[in-house]
Amino acid sequence: MRKIMIYILGFILFMQGGHPVWAENYLLNGGQKSTFRYALVQEIRPTGETVTMNLTYVIPQTFTSETYRQHIKDFDIRFSLKPDARKEWTDRHGNRVVDYAWDSPKKAFKAEVSFISDNEVTLKQIKTESPFPVNDLPAAFDLYLSETAQVQVNNKEIKQKARALVNDSKTEFDAVQRILTWVIDKMKYVLTPEAYDAMYAFRTGKGNCQNYSHLAAALMRAVGIPVRIVNGITLKEPYHVKLGAQLLSLNMAQGRHSWIEVYFPDLGWMPFDPQQTELFVSNRFVRIEIGLDNQDTMNDGLVRWTRTKGSKEVISFQETIAADFTSDIVDLIGEKQGYGPKNLMLLPPVKAQYFNAPVVKEQKPVPYDPALLAKAVFEKPYIYGNLDFPEGVNFAFSRTTRVTDNENSMEKNFLVETAEYITGGQDYCQAFEIGVPVNLQQIGVALQKFGGEGELVLELRENTQGGPGKIAAVSRGVRLENISGARGYFWVDFDFADQQLMLTPDRYWISINYKGSPIINWFYSYGKPVGQMDGTRSKSRNEANWRFTMGYEFNYRVSGLTIR
């Protein structure tokens, strides 16, 4: 049996005082300044039994905060089929809502929403002296302390946890940071949770952007901090943060997203993305609608229709989002701190009284004695990895229909395709870490085939100074014709069984290589559901250095046998 034994865990980006640490708090200085043209195109195909049709939108507004600014101009909505009626109003949160109606539409038509946005982020030291508890707020802010069906402020468990987290906080920033540190470390991102409310997230530790927003809002409102939910769009244009010799590469899927804004008496409303940022969001975020929760921010993208009595036919609906950047300047420098959550958190420098959460030192795995391993019996099934992803989902047609006796509707959802094109000019490498010896059988990855021909292989790499090292083994090849051509992502397993590989506890890396001209995407999850912050790397195909650290984690599974 071949043995791959690498006993030293030397994670360069994670060393502090000679010990690996879990603190992943980065202070950012610099900014982003971009102009882009945004276009949302909807294709609607009524049925022969459609009686009425309504499409609702929220007109995005210019917004300014201490860190994030959005200036909207040239807003326009066009339809290939002229609507029969138009109605516009402003709701209680200040959202400008517009609704278009059609009577008995019989043919397919398109709707296009477009505008130009100047988005800018400026990150420098922020000074806040807002005390905690937050007192003497105007009555208008009571609305953003209230409970909803998705933000269970008055739940006993929520109240107890919130009070425990901020027990001795003296400033609002300290209270907010403690809550977000807990949320970021508590939560594991999954794209299709069973529910979207705060209590589901609190009890399971799982959820998508809605769960992160609802849980953070519930905990903050429970201790008197006003929070509102923001719905908008994230753009897929990546950007980089300089971390010494490394570059942290950050990007979001192009699609709908939920985040929050927190009110500070001396700063105003400040944006936060509870998945990874404090006091700012990237200028790849397009702010559209605000409310108390994600049911209260349902107007933008809402589709409603009625049909003849007894009909069960459902309309066809498809939505695509595009953004054309005409200018894009990014200059961000990050500095790692010796405190904070074990999962990634980014924020500007803050001048305020706050508590530095202690660093949790990571325990090194104890090397197994090779002589004992040679006698061990490997018979217990073993599987490990970033296993949760929406297998087989067609992202182009992902909305669900809500049916009632009087009206049918399709609300926007937050199901976004997070994936990288891996058979082009960029190479990707994903780390995994095991704590027990494993007789390796297979490694699976979540892939979608879009076309081409040829063969894929998976390379198992050693860990060298915390990064991808030399290739230790190569799987059997998988021919493209043996990979499903169905829309959606599926597990593709690469076989190592005949190589008798025994992996000792350590970090390893996997990369995909190919022959021919395959067109393949590899699915990833936001954040790091199971791995360390520096565990996903990339480089250009003609480079030797894996110099980009990615802010996400590819979906993979390692299968084999371990000792009982």
Band (198; pLDDT cuts 50, 70, 90): very high
Q: 125-300+329-351: what fold?
A: C8orf32 fold (3.10.620)
- Retrieve residue 160's tokens: 């107890």
The yes-or-no verdict on residue 14 having pLDDT over 50 is: no
pLDDT tens-digit profile of 113-163? 999 999 999 999 999 999 999 999 999 999 999 999 999 999 999 999 999
The yes-or-no verdict on residue 465 having pLDDT over 60 is: yes
Please determine, looking at this structure, whether the domain spanning 31-120+301-325 carries the CATH number 2.60.40.2250: yes
In sequence order, what are the beta bridge partners of 259?
230
C-alpha atoms less than 13 angstroms from C-alpha of 505 in its C-beta half-sphere: 11
Domains of the chain, residue spans: 2-21+365-563, 31-120+301-325, 125-300+329-351
pLDDT tens-digit profile of 263-277? 999 999 999 999 999
- Retrieve residue 190's tokens: 């999954």
pLDDT tens-digit profile of 66-121? 999 999 999 999 999 999 999 999 999 999 999 999 999 999 999 999 999 999 99
Q: Which residue has the higher pLDDT, 209 or 401?
A: 209
Band (363; pLDDT cuts 50, 70, 90): low
Range scoring the smallest mean pLDDT among 17-21, 252-256, 352-356, 494-498? 17-21
Q: How far is CA 92 from CA 85, 143, 270, 289, 292, in A?
A: 23, 10, 20, 12, 11
pTM: 0.91
pLDDT tens-digit profile of 513-522? 999 999 999 9
pLDDT tens-digit profile of 318-343? 999 999 999 999 999 999 988 888 88
Band (359; pLDDT cuts 50, 70, 90): low
Nearest by Cα to 104 from 313, 301, 308, 303 = 308
Looking at residue 6, its pLDDT comes to 33
- Give 482's contacts (C-beta < 8 A, 6+ positions apart): none
Looking at residue 502, its pLDDT comes to 92
Looking at residue 17, its pLDDT comes to 32
